Amino acid sequence: MADSRTGGAAPTVLRVVLGKRLQHLRERAGVTFEQAARSLDVTHATIRRMEKAEVGLKVPYVEKLLRTYGVSDPEEIDGFVSLAREANQPGWWHRYRDVLPEWFSVFVSLESESEVIRAYEPHYVPGLLQTESYARAVLRAGMPHAPEAEIKRGVALRMERQTVLTQEANPPLLWAVIDETVLRRPLGSPDVMREQIDHLIQAIERPNVALQIMPFSAGPHPAMYGPFHLFRFPLDELPDMVCAESLVGAVYFDQRDDVSVFLEALDRMSAQAVPLVRTRAVLSALRKEI
Amino acid sequence: MSEAGFSPDQIDTTRPHPARMYDYYLGGKDNYEADRDAAERILTALPDVGVTARSNRDFMHRAVRTVVDSGVRQIIDIGTGIPTSPNTHDVARRMDPGVRVAYVDNDPIVAAYAGAKLTNSGNAGFVLADIRDPAAILDHPVTQDLIDFDEPVALVLLAVLHFVTDAEDAVGIVRSLTERLPAGSHLILSHGTADFNQSDGFGKVTKVYNEESTSSAQWRSGPEISAFFEGFELLEPGLVQLPLWRPDGPVPSGADLRRHMGYGGVGVK
Ligand SMILES: C[S@@+](CC[C@H](N)C(=O)[O-])C[C@H]1O[C@@H](n2cnc3c(N)ncnc32)[C@H](O)[C@@H]1O
């Protein structure tokens, strides 16, 4: 996971791609971590962390490494360097650094560069679909000690994240499965819940919002242990990434065998949940019960 | 709460599935370890399966454009598969945004993907049915809702009939599907074959499908595939190797061409 002490904040997806490319070039050239490290006069851990996108890519390092890996075409080097510069630009979410733990800023960066975001949420309406009052109630429940100002900032961040779904250029597809619990456990007040459900009914009209409900009646399903997200990026060479959340942080997976387990769980859940064409009817029925 | 989806025992992800194996051949990410493992063994036996899958998609693009260009505005696409961009409706709607598409597949997971990625923008629906039950497809409310059987229909059967054996009466199934289509309807069909590449890898491939995957496979010869076009007149250039059907770019030749192990054709009723 990224280390905030390096000032490296969350990697953009681009940094992840470049890290993977560096790794690929190094392996192709048959260069070990130690050899690469010697060429930069750094420790091998630094090389490892560059490849894993845990640190920013310093331009002089990148240039030297490419040469060590036998890349001599100046155009290729320039291209790589300009991508590295771009990857070091902070994302919009850096303005929220005060309320954004490191693990979550990774999450926001992945979310904002995805083509498809799949999610399983057993307890809450997914952040991208929350209303302001609902978001406030969620944040308050999760952070009972936080001063009001912090909750406010958290809500603002969440609202800003949501613009990704309505952006003009290639908004991602959000495909989420939520548990029936989400709609039944009262959060905030009945008004907050009703407003939230109305908001969902509106949101699913968008072609890029697919929300499925896993009813109690469906019985057990493969992901009952907890919430997670799967991100897919528009670049084919980038692996899908999974973020499995917990109270104090998150674990990210990008190895195919790990990711597949989550993918299979999501696929099975999507088949087991109420089919999308009936989401609207279920939401309307539940709204009446509040 | 009622109106649930599938029950867990209807969703088989323990065996490799043709839809996800095909997604893997195409370089997709919607597949699991069992699918990749089976697909890798198939690619070892017949490395050009991947090339053929691509040329099958390219054939779909050209064939669908041709058919929409000739005025057809409704499509039934059976054996849809895991969505792969551009999908049938994407290709058709680039020509006319009003084209209606009924997608059909017998796999619950394909059904889930269809809901999120194929039928989410209107004028399209999904029918969960088996191609071996033509009436279930044609009489399904979703089909009836979307398709006007008094107007020409394009029936799309791409890389699906090689999962229906002769013992199951593949020709009879296609006849039942097409006999209710009015004149002017089109049949877009592609099918795997060993005609162009007599590799002994085919035996191994068939074995993997038949013994491990959820479907059995049968590769057919040109004349056998022609029989599916009963009642249809083949458009030029007839039933040909996939890249040779109305190419819109350079065409492979010689050893390169032999890598494409499928036939494609379009007929009009
Ligand atoms: C190789 S994929 C072809 C996908 C797509 N038609 C294409 O050509 O790009 C075969 C598809 O046929 C489906 N299929 C196999 N047997 C079937 C059956 N008996 N009834 C309906 N669909 C079937 C599979 O689920 C899979 O999605």
- Using CB atoms, pick whichever of B3, B10, B121 lies closest to residue A278: B3
In contact, B261 and B192? CB cutoff 8 Å: yes
State which residue of chain B sits closest to A259, comparing Cα positions.
B32
A218 in contact with chain B, both atoms CB, cutoff 8 A = yes
Euclidean distance between the first and the last CA atom of chain B, given in angstroms as a whole number: 47
State the nearest Cα–Cα gap between B145 and chain A, in angstroms.
Answer: 14
A213 in contact with chain B, both atoms CB, cutoff 8 A = yes
Residue B35 Cα to ligand 1 middle (Å): 15
In contact, B160 and B191? CB cutoff 8 Å: no
In contact, A50 and A57? CB cutoff 8 Å: yes
Contact B29 A208 (CB under 8 A): no
- Asked whether residue A237 carries a pLDDT value surpassing 90, the answer given is no
Q: Where residue A193 falls among pLDDT bands split at 50, 70, 90?
A: very high
pLDDT tens profile A69-125: 999 888 888 888 888 887 887 777 778 878 877 777 778 888 988 999 999 999 999
Question: Which of B120, B121, B123 should we substitute to test contact with A (largest number of A Cβ atoms within 10 Å)?
Answer: B120
- Using CB atoms, pick whichever of B10, B109, B117 lies closest to residue A267: B109
State which residue of chain B sits closest to A280, comparing Cα positions.
B3
State the nearest Cα–Cα gap between A223 and chain B, in angstroms.
Answer: 13
User: Which residues in chain A touch residue B10, judged by CB atoms under 8 angstroms apart?
Assistant: 271
- Using CB atoms, pick whichever of A208, A268, A276 lies closest to residue B11: A268
Which tokens hold the place of A203?
Answer: 């949101």
- Using CB atoms, pick whichever of A210, A220, A240 lies closest to residue B29: A240
Question: Do you find a cis peptide bond into B108, omega within 30 degrees of 0?
Answer: no
In contact, A240 and A231? CB cutoff 8 Å: yes
Averaged pLDDT, groups of 10, chain B, 269 residues long: 75 94 97 96 96 98 98 98 96 97 97 95 93 98 97 98 96 97 98 91 92 92 98 98 97 94 98
Cβ contacts below 8 Å, chain A against chain B, sum to 93
Contact A277 B119 (CB under 8 A): yes
- List Cα–Cα distances, A272 to A265, A282, B10, B108, B254, in angstroms: 10, 15, 9, 9, 48
pLDDT at residue A11 in the model: 61
pLDDT tens profile A133-146: 999 999 999 899 99
The whole-angstrom separation of Cα A83 and Cα A45 is: 23
The whole-angstrom separation of Cα A142 and Cα A227 is: 15
pLDDT tens profile A263-282: 999 999 999 999 999 999 99
What lies within 8 Å, CB to CB, of A140 at 6+ separation is: A146, A151
Whether ligand 1 lies within 6 angstroms of the CB of B132 is answered as yes
The whole-angstrom separation of Cα A237 and Cα A234 is: 9
> What crossing angle do the helices spanning A13-28 and A44-51 adopt, rounded to 10°?
120
Residue B140 Cα to ligand 1 middle (Å): 18
Dihedrals φ, ψ of B127, to 5°?
-120, 120
pTM: 0.89
Whether ligand 1 lies within 6 angstroms of the CB of B177 is answered as no
User: Which residues in chain B touch residue A217, judged by CB atoms under 8 angstroms apart?
Assistant: 1-2, 4
Question: Do you find a cis peptide bond into A11, omega within 30 degrees of 0?
Answer: no
What lies within 8 Å, CB to CB, of B249 at 6+ separation is: none
Whether ligand 1 lies within 6 angstroms of the CB of B128 is answered as no
Which tokens hold the place of B67?
Answer: 């058919």
| Beta carbons within 10 angstroms of residue B227's beta carbon | 12
In contact, A243 and A231? CB cutoff 8 Å: yes
A232 in contact with chain B, both atoms CB, cutoff 8 A = yes
Residue at A90: amino acid letter: P
Element of type H or E holding A218: none
**Nearest partner of B208 among B13, B37, B12, judged by Cα:** B37
In contact, A176 and A212? CB cutoff 8 Å: yes
Beta-sheet pairing, A209-214 with B74-78:
unpaired
User: Which residues in chain B touch residue A274, judged by CB atoms under 8 angstroms apart?
Assistant: 1, 3-5
What's chain A's average pLDDT? 89
State which residue of chain B sits closest to A220, comparing Cα positions.
B8
Residue B194 DSSP symbol: S
Give SS3 for B228.
helix
- Using CB atoms, pick whichever of B3, B112, B119 lies closest to residue A267: B112
State which residue of chain B sits closest to A175, comparing Cα positions.
B116
The whole-angstrom separation of Cα A272 and Cα A120 is: 13
Contact A275 B5 (CB under 8 A): yes
Question: Which of B1, B9, B13 should we substitute to test contact with A (largest number of A Cβ atoms within 10 Å)?
Answer: B1
The whole-angstrom separation of Cα A179 and Cα B157 is: 37
- Asked whether residue A286 carries a pLDDT value surpassing 70, the answer given is yes
State which residue of chain A sits closest to B109, comparing Cα positions.
A271
The whole-angstrom separation of Cα B193 and Cα B206 is: 12
What is the per-residue DSSP string for A35-58? Answer: HHHHHHTS-HHHHHHHHTTSS---
What lies within 8 Å, CB to CB, of A35 at 6+ separation is: A68
Residue with tokens 């890290």: A19
**Nearest partner of B80 among B5, B33, B141, B30, judged by Cα:** B30
Which tokens hold the place of A279?
Answer: 């989401």
- Asked whether residue A3 carries a pLDDT value surpassing 50, the answer given is no
pLDDT at residue A169 in the model: 87
| Beta carbons within 10 angstroms of residue B222's beta carbon | 16
What are A230's strand-pairing partners? A118, A242
Closest CA to ligand 1's atom 12 = B79
Give SS3 for B74.
strand
Q: Which of the two residues, A254 and A134, has the higher pLDDT score?
A: A134
In contact, B151 and B180? CB cutoff 8 Å: no
State which residue of chain A sits closest to B29, comparing Cα positions.
A240
User: Which residues in chain B touch residue A286, judged by CB atoms under 8 angstroms apart?
Assistant: 1
What are B234's strand-pairing partners? B267
pLDDT at residue B1 in the model: 38
Whether ligand 1 lies within 6 angstroms of the CB of B189 is answered as no
pLDDT at residue A2 in the model: 36
Euclidean distance between the first and the last CA atom of chain A, given in angstroms as a whole number: 41
Helix residue ranges per DSSP H, A185-278:
190-203, 256-272
Residue A227 Cα to ligand 1 middle (Å): 32
Contact A217 B117 (CB under 8 A): no
Of the listed ranges A165-174, A253-262, B139-148, B244-253, the one predicted with least confidence: A253-262
